[in-house]
């Protein structure tokens, strides 16, 4: 059993503990899907005020639903579509304060009001995107962007293993 108790006084401390726990949970495990599943579960448990946390994987230039916590979600997202597809195309984090005002936002859960999507890049290639949704408007700030970027950069090799790339075809 893994029991990571993350109780932090501030956001920096919270993410420091979260990144440490994610590092420990994925260390030595080559299966990208298993690692994404545990990272999604950790984020879900540690970060307040989320209604969805998980990954979409890059499967032959289309985003395909990966491990997540939250309500069932749309399975396939074309590059360039929605917040996730925009992050996939630009390779830049997308921090959206009001998803209702984002052109082309894909409403998987009508409760979502704000969203943070961070691309996971390994050797210059997109592996996946990390998607966090909140029922509160303006839930994510620059610190969330920076720490989530640090998280996925630190774990990129463990999120881009063979299992991730061989799920289709």
Q: Which residues make up the interface to ligand SME (CB under 6 A)?
A: 52, 73-74, 77, 82-85, 105-106, 108, 112, 115, 131, 133
Beta carbon of residue 68, minimum distance to ligand SME (angstroms, whole number): 7
Identify which of 165, 163, 158, 162 has the alpha carbon closest to the alpha carbon of residue 26: 158
- 63 contacts 76 by C-beta, under 8 angstroms: yes
Matching residue, tokens 């005020």: 49
Beta carbon of residue 144, minimum distance to ligand SME (angstroms, whole number): 16
Beta carbon of residue 108, minimum distance to ligand SME (angstroms, whole number): 3
* Closest to ligand SME by CB, 16 or 97: 97
Letter string b/e over residues 90-126, b meaning 16 or more CB atoms within 10 A of that residue's CB: eeebbbbeebeebeebbebeeebbbbbbbbbbbeeeb
Beta carbon of residue 164, minimum distance to ligand SME (angstroms, whole number): 18
d(CA 84, CA 93): 9
* Closest to ligand SME by CB, 70 or 160: 70
By beta-carbon distance, which residue lies closest to ligand SME? 82
Beta carbon of residue 20, minimum distance to ligand SME (angstroms, whole number): 26
* Closest to ligand SME by CB, 136 or 157: 136
* Closest to ligand SME by CB, 52 or 140: 52
- 51 contacts 136 by C-beta, under 8 angstroms: no
3-state DSSP of 77-117: EECCCHHHHHHHHHCCCEEECCHHHCCCCCCCCCCCCEEEE
* Closest to ligand SME by CB, 87 or 159: 87
């Amino acid at each position: 059993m893994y029991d990571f108790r993350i109780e932090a006084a501030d956001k920096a401390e919270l993410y420091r503990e979260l990144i440490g726990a994610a590092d420990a949970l994925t260390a030595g495990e080559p299966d990208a899907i298993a690692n994404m599943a545990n990272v999604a579960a950790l984020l879900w448990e540690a970060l307040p005020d989320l209604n969805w946390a998980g990954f979409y994987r890059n499967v032959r230039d289309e985003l395909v639903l990966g491990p997540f916590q939250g309500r069932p979600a749309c399975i396939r997202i074309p590059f360039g579509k929605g917040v996730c597809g925009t992050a996939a195309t630009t390779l830049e984090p997308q921090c959206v304060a009001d998803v209702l005002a984002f052109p082309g936002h894909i409403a998987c859960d009508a409760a979502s009001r704000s969203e943070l999507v961070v691309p996971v890049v390994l050797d210059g290639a997109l592996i996946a995107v990390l998607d966090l949704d909140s029922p509160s408007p303006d839930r994510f700030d620059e610190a969330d962007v920076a720490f989530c970027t640090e998280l996925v950069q630190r774990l990129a090799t463990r999120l881009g293993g063979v299992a991730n790339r061989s799920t289709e075809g």
